[in-house]
Amino acid sequence: MDTKQNTGRQGFKTSLTKAAEIPEKHLSSLREKQLASFRSIMLVIVLANLLNAAVILLSFRESMIGNLLPMWGGCLVLFSLFALGQDLFEKQFGWRKSRDAEQELQSLTRGATLNGFLWAIAPLVVMSSVDTQGQMVMGIVMAGMMFAGAFLLSHIPDAALSFTIPVGVGLILSMQFQQDTAYQFISVLLIVYMALLVFAVRWSTNQFVEQHLGEAAVSEQSELIGLLLRDFEESTSDWLWQTGADGKLEDIPLVIDTSSDSAGFMTKGASLVGLFAADESRKVLETAMKREQGFRDVVLHVRDQNGEECWVSLTGKPIFDGHQFRGFRGVAADITQSKQIEDRMAHMAHYDGLTGLPNRITLQEHLEKIVRKPPAPHTVRALLWMDLDNFKWVNDTLGHPAGDELLRQVAGRINEMVETTDMVARLGGDEFALIVERPAGGALEDFFHRLTDHMRTPYNIWGSTAHCSASFGVRIFDAYTTDTRQILKHADLALYDAKRTGKAQWCMFTPQLEAHAQARMQTETELEHAIDKDELRVYFQPQVDARTHKMIGAETLLRWQHPTRGLVFPDQFIELAEDNGLITRMGEWVIRTALAEAARLPEHVKVAVNLSPLQIHSATLISTIVNALAANNIAPNRFELEITESVLMTDTEFTLKRLHQIRDLGVRIALDDFGTGYSSLSYLRSFPFDKIKIDKSFVKDIETRQDSRAIAVATLNLAKSLGMRCTAEGVETLYQADFLRDHGCDELQGFLISRAQPLDSLSHIVDIRPKTDQRSATIETLGTDAEANVLAFDEGKRSLSAS
**Average pLDDT per run of 10 along the chain, which is 803 residues long?**
42 46 72 74 79 80 72 80 74 58 77 80 77 78 80 78 81 77 77 81 79 76 64 59 88 49 69 86 90 89 72 90 88 83 81 90 90 87 92 86 92 92 91 93 91 92 90 89 88 89 88 81 82 90 94 94 88 82 89 94 94 88 94 94 79 83 93 70 77 90 91 91 92 94 94 93 91 48 37 42 40
Tell me which residue of 624, 621, 561 sits closest to 595, measured CA to CA.
Answer: 624
The torsion angle over the Cα atoms of residues 474, 475, 476 and 480, rounded to 10 degrees, is: 180
Strand spans (E) along 245-304: 254-255, 295-303
Q: How far apart are CA 269 and CA 469, in angstroms?
A: 65
CA atoms of 741 and 727, how far apart (whole Å): 10
* Backbone φ and ψ of 424, nearest 5°: -120, 135
Phi, psi for 303 (deg, rounded to 5): -105, 130
Q: Count the neighbouring beta carbons within 10 Å of the beta carbon of residue 541.
A: 20
Give the residue ranges of DSSP H helices in 580-620.
583-598
Indicate the residue type of 434. Answer: L
Contact 77, 162 (CB under 8 A): no
> pLDDT value at position 706?
92
Alpha carbon distances (Å) from 184 to 224, 427, 429: 60, 104, 101
Alpha carbon distance 50, 419 (integer Å): 102
Q: Are 335 and 311 in contact (CB under 8 A)?
A: yes
- Interaxial angle between packed helices 621-632 and 784-802, expressed in degrees from 0 to 180 and rounded to the nearest 10: 180
- pLDDT at position 539 is 95
Question: Does the pTM of the predicted model rise above 0.75?
Answer: no
CA dihedral of 267, 273, 279, 284, whole degrees rounded to 10:
140
Q: How far is C-alpha 27 from the geometric centre of its chain's CA atoms?
A: 41
**Can you say whether the dihedral through the CA atoms of 415, 418, 421, 422 is positive or negative?**
negative
* Cα–Cα distance for residue pair 216/681, rounded to 1 Å: 84
pLDDT the model gives residue 796: 42
Q: Of 636, 607, 591, 611, give the one whose Cα is nearest residue 543.
A: 607
**CB contact burial 298-311 (16+ within 10 A = b; e otherwise):** bbbbbebeeeeebb
For residue 560, count CB atoms less than 10 angstroms from its CB and return exposed for 0-12, middle for 13-18, buried for 19 or more: buried
Helix, strand, coil shares of the chain as percentages rounded to 5? Answer: 55, 20, 25
Coil, strand, or helix at residue 635? coil
CA distance 633 to 620: 20
pLDDT at 385: 93
CB 35 within 8 A of CB 41: no
Q: Which of 356, 353, 289, 342 is nearest to 318 (CA)?
A: 289
Contact of 749 with 729, CB cutoff 8 Å: yes
Number of other residues whose CB lies within 10 A of the CB of residue 227: 10
Q: Beta strands of 322-461 (E only): which ranges?
A: 324-334, 379-388, 423-428, 431-439, 459-461
- Residue 327: beta bridge partners? 319
> Which secondary structure element, helix H or strand E, spans residue 418, and what is its range?
none
pLDDT of residue 602: 94
